[in-house]
Amino acid sequence: MSEIVRLTPCEIALMHDPKDTKYWRPLIERRKAAYLWGQKRFVVPRLCDEVWGDGKLLLAISPIMYRPQYFVARIDSSWETDNWEELAPGQPDDWLWDIEDAIADEYLEWPWAERYGLRWSDDDDAELNSRIDWSDGCEWWERKWPGE
């Protein structure tokens, strides 16, 4: 007699190739509640097209000035996302700039520019600019896959 195996929605979703952007984009780019300094806001995360390594680890990354809005990158599951694990391989210093550059190349104009991303830029003679600004740094965290 065979046993019935029941899978969670996350297990079913993860049977899909993590590199399949067409499949993952509508599942990740959904409106959701986010909090910054205790204030509730609704955000729509943006999925980066580029995939690093096996792409099995979701990384949320947000330029400091534009929180709580954020991007989602698919990175190698062996990479260390903790800044304080100095001896672990795949430190954020090894890959963070590559992800920032890929996001800046893909999203030439900040996806939320009209509402969140407009800033005054000294580089542009104080004209309004909607380019992504990483100059104040960023925060990142591991994000759950849809259904987890």
Indicate the helix (H) or strand (E) that contains 106.
Answer: helix 92-106
Contact 116, 41 (CB under 8 A): no
Rounded CA gap, 108 and 12, in Å? Answer: 34
- Residue 85, pLDDT > 60, answer yes
Full-model pTM:
0.77
Is the preceding omega at residue 146 within 30 degrees of 0, hence cis?
no
Query: Side-chain half-sphere of 50: how many Cα atoms within 13 Å?
Result: 13
pLDDT at 125: 52
Enumerate the domain spans of the chain.
Answer: 9-143
Q: Which pLDDT tens digit goes with each residue over 87-97?
A: 656 677 778 88
Q: How many CB atoms lie within 10 A of CB 38?
A: 5
More confident residue, 48 or 133: 48
Mean pLDDT of 108-131: 54
Integer Rg of the chain from CA: 17
Q: How many CB atoms lie within 10 A of CB 82?
A: 10
- Residue 127, pLDDT > 60, answer no
- Residue 81, pLDDT > 90, answer no
- Residue 112, pLDDT > 60, answer no
pLDDT band at 61; cut points 50, 70, 90: very high
